[in-house]
Structure 1
Amino acid sequence: MSDFALARAFVNLDAWLESTRQPGGYGGPVAHWWQNRLQFVGPGLDWRYEGLLIGYTTAYARTRDSRFADRAVRAALDLTDGQRQDGSYTASQFEINPGFLGTPHEAAATLGLLKAHHLLPDRERALSTAARNLDRLVESLWDGKGFNDRPGIRGRVPNKLATLAHAMLAYQQLTGDERYEPFVRSALNDVICYMVERGEFEGAVHQYAPEAGEGDGRFFPYYNARCIPPLVEAATILGDRTYAGAAEAIFGFVDKTMHEDGSWPQIVYTSGRQASWPRWTAGVADILLAYRALEKTPPRQALTRLLTAQLASGAFPTAEGFKQQISQRSLPGRPDYRDLLPVVGWNDKVLRLLSAMLPRDMPLPQATVARTHLDVRCWGRNAVMTETSLDLTITSAGGEELYRWQKSRPWAETHRLLEIR
Structure 2
Amino acid sequence: MNPTLTHPTPKPQEQIAQALANLEAWLETMRQPGGYGGPVCHWWQHRLRYTGPGHDWRYEGILVGYFQLWQKTGDRYYREKLNRAAFDLLEGQLPDGRYLASRFELNPGTLGTPHEAAATLGLLLALPGLDDPERALAAAGRNLDNLIAQLYLPEEKAYRDRVPNKLATLAQALLAYAEATQQEQYLPYATRALEQALRYQVQEGPLAGAIHQYAPTSDRGDGRFFPYYQSRCIPPLVEGARVLGEPRYGQAARQTLGFIERTRQTDGGWPMVLYAKGKSIERPRWIAANADVLLAYRALGEPLPEAALDRLLQAQLKSGGFPTAYGFGNDKLSPHDLIPVAGWNDKVFRLLAELLPKPAALPAPQVGLTEVEVWVGNTPAWLCENTQALIVQTRGEVLYAWRKGEPWARIVDPRLDVR
Structure 2 equivalent of residue 279 of structure 1: 285
1:191-270 mapped onto 2 (5 Å cutoff): 191-270=197-276
- Specify the code of the residue in structure 2 equivalent to 1:356: E
Structure 2 equivalent of residue 92 of structure 1: 102
What is the rounded CA distance, in whole Å, between the counterparts of 1:60 and 1:388 in structure 2?
A: 27
What is the rounded CA distance, in whole Å, between the counterparts of 1:48 and 1:395 in structure 2?
A: 28
Question: Which of 47, 53, 56 lines up with 2:63 in the alignment?
Answer: 53
The Cα shift of 1:420 comes to 8.3
- Specify the code of the residue in structure 2 equivalent to 1:321: G
- Are the aligned partners of 1:379 and 1:420 in contact in 2 as well (CA < 8 Å)? no
Q: Which runs of 5+ in 1 are unaligned?
A: 150-155, 325-330
What is the rounded CA distance, in whole Å, between the counterparts of 2:416 and 2:311 in structure 1?
A: 34
The Cα shift of 1:348 comes to 0.2
SS at match of 1:399: coil
Deviations 1:288-328 (A, max 9, x none): 0000000000100000000000010000000010123xxxx
The Cα shift of 1:388 comes to 0.9
Structure 2 equivalent of residue 401 of structure 1: 398
Structure 2 equivalent of residue 138 of structure 1: 148
- Specify the code of the residue in structure 2 equivalent to 1:165: A
The Cα shift of 1:378 comes to 1.8
What is the rounded CA distance, in whole Å, between the counterparts of 1:378 and 1:167 in structure 2?
A: 40
- 2:309 is aligned with 1:297: no
- Specify the code of the residue in structure 2 equivalent to 1:376: V
What is the rounded CA distance, in whole Å, between the counterparts of 2:282 and 2:186 in structure 1?
A: 38
The Cα shift of 1:42 comes to 0.2
- 2:144 is aligned with 1:147: no
Structure 1 equivalent of residue 86 of structure 2: 76
Q: Which runs of 5+ in 2 are unaligned?
A: 1-10
1:155-174 mapped onto 2 (5 Å cutoff): 156-174=162-180
The more displaced of 358-367 and 92-101 is 358-367
Question: Which of 405, 409, 413 lines up with 1:412 in the alignment?
Answer: 409
> TM-score scaled by structure 2?
0.95
Superposed CA RMSD in Å reads: 1.2
- Specify the code of the residue in structure 2 equivalent to 1:394: V
The more displaced of 87-96 and 380-389 is 380-389
What is the rounded CA distance, in whole Å, between the counterparts of 1:198 and 1:21 in structure 2?
A: 46
- Are the aligned partners of 1:44 and 1:98 in contact in 2 as well (CA < 8 Å)? yes
Deviations 1:111-169 (A, max 9, x none): 001111111111111011000000110111112221122xxxxxx00000000000011
- 2:382 is aligned with 1:384: yes
What is the rounded CA distance, in whole Å, between the counterparts of 1:342 and 1:419 in structure 2?
A: 15
- Are the aligned partners of 1:162 and 1:188 in contact in 2 as well (CA < 8 Å)? yes
The Cα shift of 1:22 comes to 0.2
- Are the aligned partners of 1:378 and 1:417 in contact in 2 as well (CA < 8 Å)? no
- Are the aligned partners of 1:403 and 1:417 in contact in 2 as well (CA < 8 Å)? no
SS at match of 1:376: strand
SS at match of 2:384: strand
SS at match of 1:353: helix
- Specify the code of the residue in structure 1 equivalent to 2:390: L
Structure 2 equivalent of residue 64 of structure 1: 74
SS at match of 2:380: strand
- Are the aligned partners of 1:386 and 1:393 in contact in 2 as well (CA < 8 Å)? yes
Question: Which of 19, 39, 42 lines up with 1:32 in the alignment?
Answer: 42
What is the rounded CA distance, in whole Å, between the counterparts of 2:64 and 2:79 in structure 1?
A: 11
What is the rounded CA distance, in whole Å, between the counterparts of 1:420 and 1:21 in structure 2?
A: 23
Structure 2 equivalent of residue 17 of structure 1: 27
> TM-score scaled by structure 1?
0.95
Residues 148, 362 of structure 1: alpha-carbon distance in 2 compared, 3 angstrom cutoff: same
What is the rounded CA distance, in whole Å, between the counterparts of 2:301 and 2:44 in structure 1?
A: 31
- Specify the code of the residue in structure 2 equivalent to 1:18: E
